[in-house]
């Protein structure tokens, strides 16, 4: 049954009834003591409880009990719940975007990206889950004698730990395929953005998901997240590489599957045959989207040969005219950073680079006149290996740009990083298609900075090197939440041969048979 929600939110504390309803969805008896701040003006919009080990224990116990029934629920019922959820997300999109903006300080277009992602992921997996999970006949080793079928069953209770930068998308889009595959989920949103996660979960319950199939526990990362990692049957983590390593150790000790979607230091290459206007537009988009607090943001740009001065002039000019503001207006191009902590990190890294000789082409300063955590889009050049931001993710609207002699050199620089998440290349189509596979990252965008790989969800997307393990999207994005089971039947004759036949004779016959099969199946 669908609840009544306010159509929109206004700056300031959440409406009391909404806050109480959302808090009621948290699996916790603790008193609400964690304040949730609105970065636009640093006011408190509400409080959530600081959960601990006992809340996580309770969430898993209830989820395990409920999961058995959910696993046996027909595909059609699960599909229908997710399709209803899809409609509710679109129906309540304005409210969802208001909540996302209140909790993160991002601009409205970036908040809509989240709505669009959740809706398209729900639609995509609702349409495919049943087919992916239906037992699949595979080729037997010996025709007629062997038959083999691949079965899939749910793993049980999936643990999900997500960050604050995409609080709507990352709270639910990875959970949807897990639920469709028959699992329950225990989720920990970041303590800075819990209300967005709770609001979208409320829509999932309204769509018909049984309450105990999805639990949310709020609280500090190491405590609540650590406890989830100790309980779950598979861990879906999105966040920093440092936390990913800690959780990976737990997953390794417990021998559970682990998806880690981690940080990046993403390059953009502008080739000499690129369309200049498109390249500038794409670079600006990759710099300012979500105020640069996007795992797939562009932080390094390598421009080939004579394109450099033309590109840099136009790119810097465009960034200087960006409309930055606090508020829900659709025309605002860039919002705030999400917290004092983010502002401190961005300021520290830019100041350190400048003190060691980097040149600021534009930006390089906070804008307290716009809001407490605003920071200008910033372009640096002359960045060297001595500077922290040469290799480390800034996670803000800060990019360095360098001229390179040719495409081969651009690719060498692009690959000179411990990360391997995302890259973009602006070039004539043939140039880009030839260069793309040489960039060692999980996703390469041709004539785009990041949206193409994120938006085309039929292909799996994950990080290489220190950017992660496993992938989301595509078949893998659902099948990773299942256990494969090989059910094989050997008819008439065992693969080891009849007992009456001498081993040596059997080996000769088998060798001849394998040779014949190789010819037949060539
Ligand atoms: P973070 O690792 O500090 O926090 C992410 C989540 O993990 C939060 O919910 C946090 O409470 C929890 N957590 C923190 N320490 C924990 C611990 N010891 N045990 C268990 N849980 C713990 O990440 P962050 O800095 O808040 O988020 C930004 C990072 O996330 C950036 O590096 C960004 O690139 C990355 N990110 C990656 C993707 C992707 O898809 N690859 C998407 C978004 C963000």
In this prediction, residue 305 has a pLDDT band, given cuts at 50, 70 and 90, of: very high
Q: Which domains does the chain have, with CATH numbers?
A: 51-262+475-479 (3.40.605.10), 266-466 (3.40.309.10), 498-522 (no CATH)
In this prediction, residue 48 has a pLDDT band, given cuts at 50, 70 and 90, of: very high
What would the 3-class secondary structure string for 81-132 be?
HHHHHHHHHHHCHHHHHHHHHHHHCCCHHHHHHHHHHHHHHHHHHHHHHHHH
Residue 317 has pLDDT above 90, yes or no: yes
Residue 51 has pLDDT above 90, yes or no: yes
Nearest CA to ligand 1 atom 9: 190
Give the pLDDT score at 502.
Answer: 92
Residue 497 has pLDDT above 90, yes or no: no
Instruction: Render pLDDT for 395-449 as a digit per residue (tens, 0 to 9).
Output: 999 999 999 999 999 999 999 999 999 999 999 999 999 999 999 999 999 999 9
Q: What is the percentage of the chain residues whose pLDDT exceeds 90?
A: 93
Sign of CA dihedral 300, 304, 306, 310: negative
Nearest CA to ligand 1 atom 35: 239
In this prediction, residue 15 has a pLDDT band, given cuts at 50, 70 and 90, of: very high
Give the pLDDT score at 477.
Answer: 98
Nearest CA to ligand 1 atom 43: 295
For a substitution probing ligand 1, which of 117, 167, 221 has the most ligand atoms within 8 Å of its CB?
Answer: 221
CB-CB contact of 291 with 375 (8 Å):
yes
Index of the ligand 1 atom closest to the CA of residue 242: 2
Instruction: Render pLDDT for 73-120 as a digit per residue (tens, 0 to 9).
Output: 999 999 999 999 999 999 999 999 999 999 999 999 999 999 999 999
For a substitution probing ligand 1, which of 34, 240, 259, 344 has the most ligand atoms within 8 Å of its CB?
Answer: 240
In this prediction, residue 492 has a pLDDT band, given cuts at 50, 70 and 90, of: confident
With b meaning 16 or more CB within 10 Å and e meaning fewer, what string describes 175-207?
A: bbbbbbbbbbbbbbbbbbbbbbbbbbbbbbbbb
Residue 9 has pLDDT above 80, yes or no: yes
Give the pLDDT score at 169.
Answer: 98
Q: How far is residue 202's CA from residue 212's CA, in Å, rounded to a whole number?
A: 12
Q: How far is the CA of 479 from the centre of ligand 1 (A)?
A: 23
Partners of residue 289 on adjacent β-strands: none
Please state the rounded mean pLDDT for residues 252-272: 98
Give the pLDDT score at 127.
Answer: 98
Give the pLDDT score at 484.
Answer: 98
pTM above threshold 0.85: yes
Instruction: Render pLDDT for 360-395 as a digit per residue (tens, 0 to 9).
Output: 999 999 999 999 999 999 999 999 999 999 999 999
Give the pLDDT score at 255.
Answer: 98
**What is the CB < 6 Å shell around ligand 1?**
161-166, 188, 190-191, 221-222, 225-226, 238-240, 243, 246-247, 261-264, 295, 393, 395, 421, 463, 468
Instruction: Render pLDDT for 352-361 as a digit per residue (tens, 0 to 9).
Output: 999 999 999 9
Partners of residue 32 on adjacent β-strands: 49
Residue 521 has pLDDT above 90, yes or no: no
Residue 285 has pLDDT above 90, yes or no: yes
Give the pLDDT score at 514.
Answer: 86
Instruction: Render pLDDT for 131-178 as a digit per residue (tens, 0 to 9).
Output: 999 999 999 888 888 999 999 999 999 999 999 999 999 999 999 999
Q: What is the CA radius of gyration of the chain?
A: 26
Residue 2 has pLDDT above 80, yes or no: no
In this prediction, residue 518 has a pLDDT band, given cuts at 50, 70 and 90, of: confident
Count CB neighbours of 246 within 10 A: 15
């Amino acid at each position: 049954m669908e609840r009544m929600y306010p159509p929109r939110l206004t700056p300031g504390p959440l409406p009391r009834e909404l806050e109480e309803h959302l808090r009621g969805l948290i699996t916790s008896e603790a008193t609400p003591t964690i304040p949730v701040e609105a970065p636009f003006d640093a006011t408190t919009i509400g409080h959530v409880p600081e959960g601990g080990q006992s809340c996580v224990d309770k969430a898993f116990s209830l989820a395990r009990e409920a999961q058995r029934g959910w696993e046996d629920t027909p595909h059609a019922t699960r599909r229908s719940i997710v399709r209803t959820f899809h409609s509710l997300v679109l129906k309540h999109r304005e409210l969802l975007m208001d909540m996302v903006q209140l909790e993160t300080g991002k601009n409205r277009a970036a908040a809509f990206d989240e709505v669009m992602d959740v809706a398209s992921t729900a639609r995509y997996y609702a349409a495919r889950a049943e087919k992916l999970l239906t037992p699949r006949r595979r080729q037997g080793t010996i025709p007629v004698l062997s038959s083999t079928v691949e079965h899939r069953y749910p793993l049980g209770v999936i643990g999900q730990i997500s960050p604050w930068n995409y609080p709507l998308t990352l709270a639910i889009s990875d959970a949807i395929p897990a639920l469709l595959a028959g699992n329950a989920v225990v989720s920990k949103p970041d303590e800075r953005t819990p209300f967005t996660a709770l609001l979208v979960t409320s829509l999932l319950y309204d769509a018909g998901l049984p309450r105990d199939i999805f639990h949310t526990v709020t609280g500090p990362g190491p405590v609540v997240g650590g406890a989830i990692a100790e309980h779950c049957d598979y861990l879906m983590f999105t966040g920093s590489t440092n936390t990913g390593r800690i959780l990976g150790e737990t997953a390794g000790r417990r021998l559970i599957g682990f998806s880690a979607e981690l940080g990046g230091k993403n390059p953009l290459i502008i080739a000499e045959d690129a369309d200049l206007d498109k390249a500038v537009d794409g670079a600006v988009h990759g710099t300012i989207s979500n105020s640069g607090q996007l795992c797939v943001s562009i932080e390094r740009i390598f421009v080939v040969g004579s394109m450099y001065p033309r590109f840099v002039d136009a790119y810097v000019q465009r960034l200087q005219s960006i409309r930055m503001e606090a508020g829900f207006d659709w025309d605002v191009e860039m919002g705030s950073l999400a917290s004092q902590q983010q502002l401190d990190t961005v300021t520290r890294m830019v100041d350190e680079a400048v003190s060691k000789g980097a040149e600021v082409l534009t930006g390089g300063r906070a804008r307290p006149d716009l809001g407490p955590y605003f920071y200008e889009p910033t372009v640096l050049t002359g960045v060297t290996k001595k500077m922290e931001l040469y290799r480390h993710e800034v996670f803000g609207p800060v990019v360095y740009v360098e001229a390179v002699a040719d495409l081969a050199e651009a690719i060498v620089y692009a690959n000179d990083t411990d990360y391997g998440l995302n890259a973009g290349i602006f070039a004539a189509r043939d140039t880009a298609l030839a260069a793309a596979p040489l960039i060692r990252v999980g996703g390469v965008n041709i004539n785009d900075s990041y949206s193409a790989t994120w938006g085309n969800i039929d292909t799996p997307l994950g990080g290489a090197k220190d950017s992660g393990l496993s992938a989301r999207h595509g078949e893998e994005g659902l099948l990773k939440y299942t256990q494969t089971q090989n059910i094989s039947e050997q008819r008439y004759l065992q693969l080891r041969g009849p007992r009456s036949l001498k081993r040596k004779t059997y080996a000769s016959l088998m060798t001849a048979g394998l040779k014949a099969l190789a010819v037949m199946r060539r």
